[in-house]
Amino acid sequence: MSTLTRTALLGVAALGTLAGAAATPPSPLTLKAATLVVTQETRDGKKVEVLTDASKAQVIPGSVLSLTQTFKNVSKGALSSIVLNMKVDPATTFQQATCTVGGVTTQYTTDGRTFAAAPLMKTVTVTENGKSVQKKVEVKPSEYTGVRWNIARLNAGQEGTCAIRATVK
């Protein structure tokens, strides 16, 4: 089965087409984006997380957002090698990424071009004993600018959600 690539940008889903296809057939994958504001409430003495559509809530610096991509295989067969990308909006700071389907590999980027599993590493130049020395250091998740989920297989009718949490700057 051919590789399907699906790209999702902050709250905007863009479905790609199969490479080399003369006519665009209906996509075997549906994709729905949502931006939700995450708040905490106390109900019956317990703290619970409340998700509210960002268009219906006040979003201010410090607000935590859940940027979700919900997808479903609407074909009659399994899909393989699905790639879902999501940018971290520059007005936010990345916190974490999750995905509800099994067999997914999550990768991160700081430049939008190269992706790798966490922790990402970078080379920095520091001064030690009066000399410039290059050292490899771990990239803080707050420096991530995008997330990529590689979904190995999605069976017919199977659905899932991949999401990032980010804080508004």
The tens digit of pLDDT for each residue in 106-151 reads 999 999 999 999 999 999 998 989 999 999 999 999 999 999 999 9
pLDDT tens for residues 72-108?
999 999 999 999 999 999 999 999 999 999 999 999 9
Does residue 159 lie within any of the structural domains? yes
Separation in Å, CA 156 to CA 16, 19, 28, 47: 19, 21, 9, 37
Does residue 22 lie within any of the structural domains? no
> Which residues, 6+ apart, have CB-to-CB distance to 78 below 8 Å?
1, 153, 154, 155, 156
Does residue 109 lie within any of the structural domains? yes
Separation in Å, CA 119 to CA 107, 109, 138, 152: 9, 10, 6, 21
CA pair distance 127, 125, nearest whole angstrom:
7
- The whole-model pTM stands at 0.79
Give the CATH number for residue 39: 2.60.40
Does residue 116 lie within any of the structural domains? yes
Q: Count the domains in the chain.
A: 1
Q: For residue 83, what are the domain limits? A: 4-17+27-168
